[in-house]
Structure 1
Amino acid sequence: MAFMTKNGLLWVVFVLMTVSSLAQKPTIERPDPRKSTKIKDTTRVSLPIDSLFKAKLDAPTAKDTAFGKTAKKVIPKTFYNVLFRDIDRHIDSGQVAQMEQNPHLPFAGRWIREIHIHSLDVFGYSVHDTLQVPGNWTERTGNKLHRSTRERTILRNYLFFEEGDVIDPEKMRDNERYLRQQGIFHDARIVIVPFRNAKDAVDVHVYTQDLWSLLPDGSASNFDNFTIGIEQRNFRGLGQSFKNTVSYNGRDERQRLEYAGRYFIPSFGKSFVAGEGILNVQRDQKQLSFKAYRPFLTPQMKYAGAIELGYYNRRLFEFTLDSLTGRSVRNYFWSQYVLFDAWMGRSFRIFFGDDKLRERARFVVALRHTRQSFYNRDRSVTDSTNQLFQNTRPTLLSIGYSNRRYQRDLLIYGFGRTEDVPVGDLVSFVYGSDPAELGDRKYIGLKYSRARYIKIGYLYNLTNIGTYIKEGATEQGVFSTENNYFTPLHRFGGEWYARHFINLKFAWGFNRFANEYFNISGNEGIRGITSDELRGTRKMVIGAETVFFSPLNFLGFRVAPFTFADLGWTAFSGQYLFRNKPFAGYGLGFRFRNENLTFTTFQVRLSIYSGIPDIGQPFRANFDGVPPLRFRDFDISAPEIVQFK
């Protein structure tokens, strides 16, 4: 029996919080940005700032149900407030329009006199209401178990500005978005307060609210088959994360003990260069890799790049056809290689359009070189077999145009936190050469994406086409398009809200190597199922989902019922894509998430499937985690070969 699970262990930990804030005495002297900034203690300083958004206090919650009213009579007050904790729901009419007003615009051009950092702990606080404090002893006790993010770390690693700088409203807004993207903050807010003794000076207050960052993990079937792991996503309040997992299986003769570890540093000072190290010693994968990278975090950043070096030894498989059953059979083998990958990019301001466009749009030129060197290959590489395992050395050049903005919204992939939705355009042309082991070849690719809020919702499109050219013929070519749409937030039944989501993916591979294919099972198409029979070099997947965001919460977890339907088709070269009925999955379920915790949303799902070969039981019940969903951005990064997946 399982005695340890990720979600099970976390039930005890997630009811916790503390406050660490900062303050300093005003000085009229303009600071020198070249000097280090000393952080002052502002623990007892509170600004006269109201909530950013008006909260509806009369919304029904779990306390208002019959069960909640009965529980109030029999459960001690302290425990009752923990079990039926109200969570902040700042949803009101016109809120999205209010969110889109940049509050920093009136202060453009003023200089920053002082920067105050207010690092709020996990529970009981809000960056939108500085007067909100923990409401019971469990929250206060729990916060003492959490190391809040250090103010000095925020000041030195996460801010795009310093004391003495001039206020740039767009930079301030980008900085808020950057803070929210770190995965260690529930939300972030920057407030500018005029300094009464100097009209051209302001004080900047940065508010962040932490997420619970310690995540135990584990499972076991018996004493000789278990897994124990721990992940800390904000180690000692430094913003750095590590994950260590140890597994043991005494019955597996290949390798009884396994280890997987990762350490991540989001930024080395204000260089905004992130670093990552990975060590995996597992049965099916051995990996040792190091990577340092700096993306184009904002349009104003001129340089970006990355360098990666790694050793990989992976257990892969290829498919053969069983002559008796006609089904696919996996044949396993090992593949070892060393990877070196480096790129650098430079952005340039555009010379056309109005001021608004020139502020956010850029031309980007980037160069990339990759070396993948295989050794101890279990397969012989020839012009007609195992071409995927040839040594390659592609050098790629990209020239692109990017125009990106962000619109803040609520209740899309999150359950109430602020979400930064990208809107903009991207066009990128890639050209390169690869003196590969099996002969020289050229590469050419084109990428286009666009997203807008329209009257009936949000629409995103991504279209790619790319191919190698060898001796006048195409090789490993692919055309793909992805379209995502969601409706405006619909309100019904008091404090219930709903959104509808539609996703369409189409891809067509041409002149691909043997054993290259799409698989549309799982998160790539038909959710909740894994099958080797859902493969092909061409695919089309349509997914629809309706999510109902309810006001119900229990132990701080929001509840969101949902329904879904997935349809998919695959075909190999020479086959008609729609020759058969679609693979299909339908169902409903419930998602649960506490926005103050960093672990994944989990869900209970009931599904029924049709058209899938050898499925066995078409009715299935699943309890699993939901992978974090992110919007596709419009920043141009490394020149890349269009992925075939």
Structure 2
Amino acid sequence: MTIFLYPFQVYGQEKAVSDTFFLAKKKGILGKIGKSISISGDIPISADSGVLKNEESYAIFKGKIIHRIFIQKPGFNGTVNDTSKLIKNIFNDIGNRLHPNTSDKIIKRNLFFKEKDTLYPALVADNERFLRDISYLQDARILVRQNDLFKDQVDVIVVCKDVFPVGGSADLGSTKLLNFEINDDNIAGTGDRLAISNMIDLDRNPHYGFGALFLKRNLMGSFIDLSWGFSNMIPTFNSGRREENVLYFKAELPLVSPYRKWTGSFETALRYTSNRYVSDSVYQSDFKYRMRVFDGWIGYNIGAKKELSNAEIKKRLKHLLSLRAIHRNYEAIPKYYQTNYNSDYSNLSTILGALTVFEQDYYHTNYIYGFGRNEDVPEGFSMSLIGGWTNRNGISRPYLGYDYQRNYFTRKKNYINYILRFGGYYGDNRLEDLSFLTAVETFTRLRKLGASKWLIRHFLSGSLTQLINTRLNDPLRLSSIYGIPDFNNINTKTSTRATLNCESVFYNTWKFFGFNFAPFAFTNLSFLKEQGQPLTKADLYSAIGTGIRTRNENLVFGTMELRAAYYPRTINNMPVWNITFNTSLQYKYTSSLVKRPDFATVN
């Protein structure tokens, strides 16, 4: 057995965690269950004493040669932060025996460096963050130790913990509707994903619907992801009924590191409806559509070089030149909208270009969207100037837009993310379809509640959105990430929207069968005003509620959430109370400042 030695950690040493729960002292199955509960019990409470810049821990090894790369996998009963700490229980034993480990070959394929390369702290830190973002890994760390034989060389230990890859979700929408999915997020340890979705709806003809997705990750070490999929039960955008059919293919090359040259993606899809619910005359008049979509973009990181150097690594300020093409063609639309314009059914051909200047570093912390696992939060800025040409339903216009984002930690370790974006067109000898949005969000420093095992963090956000001279663009929506997402939309020509949101999350560091729990409470306020109306005619909508989230970080399942919301004012026959249970929420902090060229997004 190989033993890796590095500061404060010793590989190969096994130490079980003690427990005090009374059932754990029993014999037989009760004892095993008791150990499972109690050993899964307490996890270290680590309220923020600060946040650590990802590359700082590698600074002392800067410029040294990588001698060997080792892959270490703690298994279900270990952690990446302390591999000598093993949590022994019957459920972790079952997990270790049933799930396939990600092969060392696949892990090494996801590294930005190889043996004999020079170690650059920023590049290693970027790679650690990238590994943590991979969905079939619960957590990852990259550790470096001095080689015993060569003073100018180091050994790199990549510690990564798999999640149990087989998962699924279920949603009982009503007594007549059931949706469920089965998926494998790491087929035979290859890192590829297969998902099969199913639906039974007694009001639908036929009752059964299905879909499938296959995702090939990191094709031959190129970091290109390929996905194919089809489904005959997608909710339509016009009615929400599950009668849209889709066939699609997508390829994506993310900018995994600011030192990579190329990024981009393309997607082609066919989407069309089939009448599953209503009479044929109503379907033909109001709901039928068929469209083909192509959307592709490519970005070139100006100044990035194939061979890295110290001078290149120091240049954190980057410039990205990108180009995007969109073609959306409706082959069929509802009869009513053939003579009544609706932007949802408009044909679109667009060429957009952008110059983006960005700088980004990462800090790791925890208890943001995860339940104690390592999470990476960006600090930096991105500024994009976007321009191009667009043809919507035969109306050709030039477009110009601007997008700015800044995020940082304050001295008190609160985090702030600020967004400013605007854009508009020139047509009929005037500026039209002007859009403006400014938004700020923050989360506070993690705090411990007294001497308890509870931690608390507050999330606050606000936005202001304005439309001017609207001609072809959509009106502002209430159901939006910049509004109140769970609300029904109002059929108005809203041009002004102001929103405030507040959520407090309580993290309990005690585990039950490997599950963490986080109760929360929230409040949403959104102010809407129609174009041309005075402020006194504006409408105020609100929501207040509470709920609880839970997750087992060893499983590929998303976060489960039970949420109850009360709406003092409702629209479109909405109920005053809304209670939902979702089994597949994917909570993750968006960490990339590089985006494809786009119109100013305000909904």
Quickly name the TM-score band, shorter chain normalised: 0.7 to 0.9
Deviation at 1:364, TM superposition (A): 1.1
Change (3 A) 1:215 1:385: same
- 110-119 vs 471-480, greater mean Cα deviation: 471-480
- Worse-superposed segment, 462-471 or 380-389: 380-389
Determine the structure 2 residue equivalent to 1:623.
581
Partner of 1:343 in structure 2? Answer: 297
Of 418, 441, 464, the residue aligned with 1:484 is 441
Name the counterpart of 2:237.
none
| More displaced 10-residue stretch of structure 1: 236-245 or 592-601 | 592-601
Aligned mates of 1:377, 1:82 — CA distance in 2: 57
Q: 1:133 aligns with which of 75, 82, 86?
A: 86
- Decide which of 172, 182, 185 is 1:230's aligned counterpart: 182
- 2:70 corresponds to: 116
Counterpart AA for 1:464: R
Contact 1:528 1:622 in 2 (8 A): no
Question: SS state of the match for residue 120, structure 1?
Answer: coil
Structure 1 residue 614: Cα displacement:
6.0
* Aligned residue number for residue 210 of structure 2: 259
Q: 2:257 aligns with which of 298, 301, 319?
A: 298
Q: Hey, what does 1:359 align to over in structure 2? A: 315
| Equivalent of residue 429 in structure 1, options 346, 362, 385 | 385
Equivalent position SS for 1:394 = strand
Aligned letter for 1:117?
I
Kindly provide the amino acid, as one letter, of the partner of residue 61 in structure 2.
Answer: F
Secondary structure (helix, strand or coil) at the match of 1:552 reads strand
Give the corresponding residue for 1:563: 521
Cα 1:528–1:82 change in 2 (3 A) is farther
1:599 partner SS: coil
Correspondence 1:440 to 2:374: no
Residues 537 and 335 (structure 1), Cα distance of their counterparts in 2 relative to 1, 3 Å cut: farther
Which whole-Å deviations, capped at 9, do the CAs of 1:456-500 have from their partners, x for residues lacking one?
Answer: 411111111112222323343321122111111112222321111
Q: Secondary structure at the match of 2:588?
A: coil
* Aligned-pair CA distance for 1:151: 1.1
Answer whether contact 2:40 2:511 (CA < 8 A) is retained.
Answer: yes
What residue is the counterpart of 1:6 in the other structure?
Answer: none
Q: CA RMSD in A?
A: 3.3
Q: Aligned partners of 2:88, 2:255: CA distance in 1, in Å?
A: 41
Residue of structure 1 aligned with 2:60, choices 83, 106, 109: 106
- Residue in structure 1 matching 2:198, options 246, 261, 267: 246
Aligned residue number for residue 269 of structure 1: 220
Whole-angstrom distance in 1 between the partners of 2:492 and 2:558: 27
Structure 1 CA distance, aligned partners of 2:266 and 2:431?
30
In the alignment, what sits opposite 1:152? 105
Q: Distance in 1 between matches of 2:463 and 2:442?
A: 12
Give the letter for the 2:257 counterpart.
T
CA contact (8 A) 1:315 1:333 kept: no
The alignment covers a number of residue pairs equal to: 572
TM-score by length of 1: 0.81
User: Which is worse superposed, 580-589 or 178-187?
Assistant: 580-589
Task: Name 1:9's counterpart in structure 2.
Answer: none
Of stretches 537-546 and 145-154 in structure 1, the one that deviates more from structure 2 is 537-546
Q: Deviations over 1:138-181 (max 9, x none)?
A: 3212221111211111112x100111211111110000000011
For the residues of structure 1 that align with 2:592 and 2:461, how far apart are their CA atoms? 19
Say if 1:644 and 1:512 are closer, same or farther in 2 by CA, change over 3 A. farther
Query: Is 2:456 the counterpart of 1:502?
Result: no
Q: How far does the alpha carbon of each residue in 1:302-349 deviate from its partner, in whole angstroms, 9 at most, with x for none?
A: 111222221112589xxxxxxxxxxxxxx8412211112222211124
Q: Closer, same or farther in 2 for the Cα pair 1:427/1:90, shift >3 Å? A: same
Instruction: Decide whether the 8 Å contact of 2:295 with 2:327 is kept in 1.
Output: yes
Q: Secondary structure at 1:104's aligned position in 2?
A: helix
CA distance in 1, matches of 2:318, 2:73: 34
Please give the alpha-carbon distance, in whole angstroms, between the structure 2 residues aligned to 1:470 and 1:383. Answer: 22
* 1:574 maps onto 2:532 in alignment: yes
> 2:121 corresponds to which residue?
169
Runs of at least 5 residues in structure 1 that lack an aligned partner in the other structure: 1-43, 54-60, 317-330
Among 409, 413, 418, the residue aligned to 1:453: 409
- CA displacement at 1:532 relative to structure 2: 4.5
Structure 2 residue corresponding to 1:183, chosen from 112, 135, 139? 135
Alpha carbons of structure 1 residues 169 and 515: separation in structure 2 relative to 1, 3 Å? closer
Q: CA deviation at 1:98?
A: 5.4
SS of corresponding position for 2:445? coil
**Structure 2 unaligned runs (5+)?**
11-17, 234-241, 276-284, 305-309
Match of 2:5, SS state, is: coil
Contact 1:481 1:507 in 2 (8 A): yes
CA distance in 1, matches of 2:38, 2:497: 46
What residue in structure 2 maps to residue 17 of structure 1? none
In structure 2, C-alpha distance between the alignment counterparts of 1:305 and 1:96, rounded to whole Å:
35
Kept in 2, the 8 Å contact 1:589–1:603? The answer is yes
| Percent identity of equivalent pairs | 24
2:508 is the alignment partner of 1:550: yes
Q: Which amino acid aligns with 1:472?
A: N
Following the alignment from structure 2 to structure 1, what is the Cα–Cα distance between the partners of residues 295 and 227?
Answer: 14
Q: Secondary structure at the match of 2:257?
A: coil
Measured in 1, the distance between the counterparts of 2:149 and 2:586 equals 47
Paired residue for 1:417?
Answer: 373
Q: By how many angstroms is 1:581 displaced?
A: 5.7
The Cα shift of 1:240 comes to 1.1
CA contact (8 A) 1:498 1:549 kept: yes
Q: Deviations over 1:253-303 (max 9, x none)?
A: 3x4331221111221122111111121122421111111121222110111
Contact 2:300–2:320, Cα closer than 8 Å, also in 1: yes
Conserved 8 A contact 1:372-1:391: yes
In structure 2, what is the Cα distance between the partners aligned to 1:553 and 1:401? 43
Match of 2:565 in 1: 607
Question: Within 2, Cα distance between the matches of 1:110 and 1:631?
Answer: 33
Give the 3-state SS of the residue equivalent to 1:414 in structure 2. Answer: coil
Partner SS state of residue 84, structure 1: helix
Alpha-carbon distance change, 534 to 423 in structure 1, aligned in 2, over 3 angstroms: farther
Mark the CA change 1:97 to 1:635 in structure 2 (over 3 Å): closer, same or farther. closer
Change (3 A) 1:579 1:303: same
* Counterpart selection for 2:474 from 502, 510, 516: 516
* Counterpart Cα distance in 1 of 2:526 and 2:601: 19
Quote the offset at 1:633 in angstroms.
3.5
CA distance in 2, matches of 1:265, 1:220: 30
Kindly indicate whether the alpha-carbon contact (under 8 Å) linking 1:566 and 1:586 is maintained by their aligned counterparts in 2: yes
Cα distance in 2, alignment partners of residues 184 and 103 from structure 1: 25
Q: Tell me the amino acid that sits aligned with residue 107 of structure 2.
A: I
1:542–1:567 Cα contact (<8 Å) kept? yes
SS of residue paired to 1:508: strand
Contact residue 529 and residue 538 of structure 2 kept, 8 A: no
**Under a length normalisation based on structure 2, what TM-score does the superposition of the two structures give?**
0.86
For residues 432-477 of structure 1, give each alpha carbon's deviation from its aligned partner in whole angstroms, at most 9, with x where no partner exists: 0124442321111100110110134111111111122223233433
Which of the residues 160, 163, 172 maps onto 1:211? 163
For 1:563 and 1:226, how far apart are their aligned partners in 2?
A: 28
CA deviation map 1:527-557 (0-9, x unaligned): 6554647983432221101111123321121
Matching residue of 1:310: 269
User: Taking structure 1 as reference, are residues 87 and 407 closer, same or farther at Cα in structure 2, changes over 3 Å only?
Assistant: farther
Alignment CA distance shift 1:244-1:516 (3 Å): same
Instruction: Summarize the Cα distance change of 1:144–1:266 in structure 2 as closer, same or farther, 3 Å threshold.
Output: same
Distance 1:196 1:221, change over 3 A: closer
Q: CA deviation at 1:402?
A: 0.5
